């Protein structure tokens, strides 16, 4: 064990209370994803409004980037 490890406290014993608190935090954090709803958006309400979802215009289909590329190239 070097001096850096000692400065970090690696030479001290871990109390039973510290160990159990650490384990309980880890177990509680691992259970959080199981509590979330699946298949539904996390954000609900007006901020979840996304027009391409309603029209089906998503992805890299032909014509999906022409307007953006034209804007960058100076076309109107």
Cβ-count burial 34-70 (b if 16+ within 10 Å, e if not): eeeeeeeeeeeeeeeeeeeeeeeeeeeeeeeeeeeee
Q: How confident is the model at residue 41 (pLDDT cuts 50, 70, 90)?
A: low
Q: What are the phi and psi torsion angles at 68 (to 5°)?
A: -65, -45
Residue with tokens 């289909």: 61
Q: What are the phi and psi torsion angles at 71 (to 5°)?
A: -65, -45
Q: How confident is the model at residue 3 (pLDDT cuts 50, 70, 90)?
A: very high
Q: Is the pLDDT of residue 42 over 60?
A: no
């Amino acid at each position: 064990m070097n001096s850096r490890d000692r400065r970090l406290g690696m030479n001290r014993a871990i109390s039973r209370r510290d160990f159990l608190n650490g384990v309980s935090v880890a177990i509680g954090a691992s259970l959080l994803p199981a509590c979330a709803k699946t298949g539904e958006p996390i954000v609900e309400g007006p901020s979840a409004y996304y027009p391409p979802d309603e029209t089906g215009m998503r992805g890299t289909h032909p014509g999906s980037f022409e307007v953006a590329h034209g804007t960058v190239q100076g076309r109107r």
